[in-house]
Structure 1
C-alpha cells in the first residue's frame, strides 16, 4: 500500500470515532537498540489487548469459532514515515461459544526506527475486524524518543501484569492498577553503563525504584526498592513493589541509578493511576504516617537530609548554578558530566545534594567550613582574573589557579616582537589532577588571541591531562619581525617550551 494512502486510511478512521466499536487497550514503551556502528536507535515496543466480546466471530471450515483482525501500525516524524507494519491476527480457535469467555487476546510487537528522528515520533494504529470492516479501533499517540546517548540512560518504564519465577512477563496495556492488583511489577533497561561511562570511583552504585506523587520528587519512603552494586550495574531492571496500602490516586513510578554520593547518573519516570477501595490495614502508627503522605499532594521535598538546615539554605537557583560552575576546576570527569547535566536541566534538590556531598567528602565533620575555604579561593580568583564580564573562575587562568593553586612564577610578555601577548605559569612542584602524581617544573602557556583582547586563553601545557598543543607556535607567533620560520628562537616561550615540543 502506498505510504500516503496508509496515513490517509489511518486518519480517516481517526476522524470517525463512531465506527470504532472494537474495545481495545494499547500501551507502548521506548527501548533502544545499538547498531553495528554503535548508534542507539529508538525501538518502540507496542502491546495491546482486545476484548473478545467486541469482535465478530465466525465458524471456519474445521467447525471452530475464530475471529480475524487486521492491524496497521505506522510510525512517522516531521520528516515523514519511519516504519510501517501490516498483519492479520487470528484468535485461538474455540469449539463452542462458551469457550470464548476464556480468550485473552494479547499481542506485543517491537520495531527499530533506523532513520534519524526529527522531533517526536507519532504512532498511528488501526485494528479492523475482518468480518466487519466498519468495526474498528484507532489509536494515535506521540512519543519522545530523545535521549542523551553519550551518558548512561534508561529505556521507558513498562508496567507488567505478571512477572514470576516461571519466566512469564505479561505487559500491562494500561497504566492503571485496580483493586485486584496488589503488586506493581515493572521493567526497564539501562544503556551505556559500561566502565567507559561510569568511573570505578562512582561505586558502589545504588539503583532505586520509588513511587511518588510527582515525577522524581516527593518520594513515598515506605514504597521503595533499593539495590546496591559494587561493579557492573545490570542492564535489565525487573522488580515488584507491594501496593496493597497504596490508596486511590495519581502517582509516578521512578527509577534511577546514583553514585556513592547519592547524585543521580540516570533516571526515568512514568505516570500511572491507582484504584484501591480496600487498602491493606497496617499498624496504627504506620497508617497515620502513610495516610499523611498519601493525602498530601503539595509536600515539601522529602530528602534524607534537610537542606534548609545546611549552609546551602540561603542560595537560590541562580546562585546554585554559579557554585556548580565554580566546582568544575576541581571535579573529575564523572562529576563534571553531572554538573553539566544540572546546568542543562536544573533540579534544586539534587543540585544542593551534589554540592553538600562534595564538601562533606572534603570535610565530613564540617562541610560548611570546606565550602567557606573554597569560596574564599574563588573570591581571590575573581579579583585576579575577572575579564570581559566573566567571573574569574570562568576564565582559563582562573580555572588553572583553582585546580593547582598559585603558580611558583608568572612571566608576562606583552611587547615581544613577532608574538601575541602571553603568560607563562611555572610550578616547581605540582600534583597532577586525577591520579595525584607529583610533577616537577610544570608549565602552562596562556595567550591573547589578539592585541585587543583583555583576557588570556590557555594555549599549551606540559601537564598530562591538560591542554597539550604541539602546534602552539602557529597560534602564538604572528611572523611580524620574527625569523623566516615564523618563530623567534629568542622568545621567552621558546626558551621555556621549545625543548618539549621539538
Structure 2
C-alpha cells in the first residue's frame, strides 16, 4: 500500500544539528470486521523539531523509522514498519507535524504493543515505547470508539465508509478556536448477533454540570447491519468558551441504552469575551524560570498545569500548546503561577513540580507521563485520597481501585465532601487505570460502573440496567461488598 505522509506547518524555531530524542504520540482505535475479526488502527504524530536534520540535495530533511509490533511475550503477532520522511527544506528552522497510521489485525487477548523509533540521521539511536493492548471482539451491540475528526483529509487512508476519519487530535484534548466552528465525529456501531434498527443520539454537554447544551444535539438511524458507521457535524458558532464533552448513546426500539461513549473537548470563542491569563509583554519575568529552554520544555510546563487549571486556563493552554510560540507559553506559565501566589511564586511552582515528578514516577510509563494519566491528574488536582481500596485480582472483575476523599477542593468548583473515584485496569498486561466513575462534581459519572469493572458473565446485556440480576454478587466477586462504598471486607486497603 502506498503511504501518503501528511505534513502541517507549525511554527518557526531554531534547530541545531545535534542528537535529539525522537518524539511520537500514538492513539489506538479499535475496530471489528464481521469476516476477519478485530483489528486496530494506530495514528501517529511526530514533529521535525525532535529529530536531527541531514543535508541532502536541495536542502535538509529529517527521517524517522518506526517499527510497530503487537507482541505475545517475544512472539510477534503483527507488525508494520515505515519511515517518516519530511519535506526537503532550505534550512533547519522549520518545525512540522507529520502524521501516519498503521492498520493491524490481531486476535482476541491481552498483548503488548512496542514502538521502536530510530532517527536515521543519528546512527545507533533507538527509542523504545511499550504499552499493553487488550483486544476483545464484540459479543453484543458496541461501539468502535468515538473519534472527533477533521472535516477533510488529504489521504484516502483516513476514509472509512466514504467518511473522513482523520483524528483532530492525537496527543492532547481536542480544541476548537474561534475560527473553527464545526465539530465532526465518527464511530461505528457493531451488532455481531442479530442486527436490528437502532437510534444513535448525540449532544454536547457542559463538563461541570453534565447538562445538555440547548440546541447542540441530534440523532441518526442505525441500520440493521453488522457494522454501521455513525458520523455527524455540529455547528459551534455560538458555543461559548469552555470545556465540554460530546456524548453519543445507542438505543433500541424499547428505549434502552445499549452502548455509548463520550469525549471531552475545549472551545475558545472570542465572540464571547471571558477573562484569560495575561500573555502580553507586560508580564513580569521570573528569574527562576530562566533555566528552562526549548519549545518542548515550555509545552510541558504549560501542559502539566492542566490538573489544577481552571476550565478557561485549560482552553487557553491548549491553544498556546498547539500554536507552539515559546514566548507566549512562557508568559502563560509565568502568569499562571503569579496568579496562584504572587508573594511566594517560586515556592508554589517548585512544590507543584515536585508533585508532578512524584506522579510521573508513580503512574508514568508506556505512552503517557504520570500527570497525563487519570490517577495522576486526580492526585494532582485533589491531593492524596483519604482511603484507597485496591482490588488486584478477582475471578469476575478487572483490577480496580476505589479512592475516597473526605473533602475535595478544586478551581472553579464548590467544596465537596465524601466523594469517590473508581479506576479500572482493563488491560491486564499494563498498569494504567482509567477513571470510569466519580460522584464528584465535574467528573465522569456512571452509576453503573460495575458493568465496566465486570468481565465475563457478570456484565449483563444492558449497561443501564438496575435489575437485581445485574447487581448480583457471583462466587469470587466482591463488587457489591467493597469496604469504602458498602462497608464490607477488602483485599487491600490503605488508610491515610
TM bucket (normalised to shorter chain) is 0.3 to 0.5
Q: Structure 1 or 2: larger helix share?
A: 1
TM-score, normalised on structure 1? 0.44
Structure of greater Rg: 1
TM-score, normalised on structure 2? 0.44
Higher relative contact order (CA 8 A, sep 6+): 2
